[in-house]
Amino acid sequence: MVSMAIVLFLIGQLTRALDTEARRVLVGTAMVIFVFRAVPGPGPGATWWMIDELVFDQQFLAVLSLISSVLTLAGMFIFRRFMAERPITYIVGFLTVIGTLLSLPTLGMYFGLHQWTAAHTGGVVDARFIALVDTALESPLGQIAMIPMLAWIANSAPERLKATFFAVMASFTNLALSASQLATQYLNKVFTVTREVKDAQTGVLVTPADYSELGLLLIWATVIGFAAPMLAIGLIRMLRLRSA
């Protein structure tokens, strides 16, 4: 909260150097990106479940991480024209809808989607196949929302304050990631997911595995991830703010 207060104070000071229209664009853009990046995720419980129930080993998870990183970079080039020609509210709305759709395979696998697809495809479309395809589709969209705001700062911020604008807005978006982590933690307190833990010396079971509430956790993370950015976009339009 202290960090947020300081960053908001700095943003307020910086906006004094902008004209009214540019100020409205900066505030509207910052609001929608903050909310988009602050939505909670399911937390580590989903990964625990994939390791324990879907038998995803560390090598396969590393492959997913590598695919995600490489395709995120590729996505910045593939979607550069899309980002240049669309306002940030359109981009965030598009990413929200696509992200929601791409979260459904994981939710479906919790309820047995991979078993059904494997049975009807001779074992080809199994859990690993679904995870690979889902990661490949989702990864290029990872950092797209940030680029229009940074481009707007480079184009519209006062020449003597560009570096300061970049630093303050980077801090602001980093706070959004912190808010996302906090929201994820609170969501995990409502829907408890535990992984099996045994005493290293005696082998006695300390905590049993319990994934019974993971389905609800995934559902609520998906619902919030869709609703929060859409509400932010609606609020910006209601307040007649603009976005980059």
Q: Which residues pair with 207 in a beta bridge?
A: 197
The confidence score (pLDDT) of residue 206 equals: 78
pLDDT in tens, 92-104: 888 889 889 988 9
> Would 113 be classed as within a structural domain?
yes
How many structural domains compose the chain? Answer: 1
Helix (H) or strand (E) holding 177: helix 162-190
For residue 22, tell me if it sits in a domain.
yes
Looking at the chain, the whole-number percentage of residues with pLDDT higher than 70 is 95
Q: What is the pTM of this model?
A: 0.85
Distance CA 213, CA 191 (A): 6
- How many whole angstroms separate alpha carbon 198 and alpha carbon 209? 10
Q: What is the DSSP letter of 112?
A: T
Decide if 7 is inside a domain: yes
Domain-located, residue 115: yes
Q: Would residue 39 count as lying in a domain?
A: yes
The answer to whether position 244 is within a domain reads: no
- The answer to whether 56 and 116 have CB atoms below 8 angstroms apart is no
With respect to residue 243, please indicate whether it lies within any of the assigned structural domains. no
CATH number at residue 95: 1.20.1250.20
Which domain range does residue 53 map to? Answer: 2-192+213-238
* Count of Cβ atoms closer than 10 Å to residue 82 Cβ: 13
The pLDDT tens digits of the residues spanning 150-205 come to: 777 777 777 787 888 888 888 888 898 899 999 999 999 999 999 888 777 777 77
Tokens standing for residue 26: 């900066």
Residue 199 lies in a domain: no
Counting Cβ atoms within 10 Å, is residue 15 exposed (0-12), middle (13-18) or buried (19+)? Answer: middle
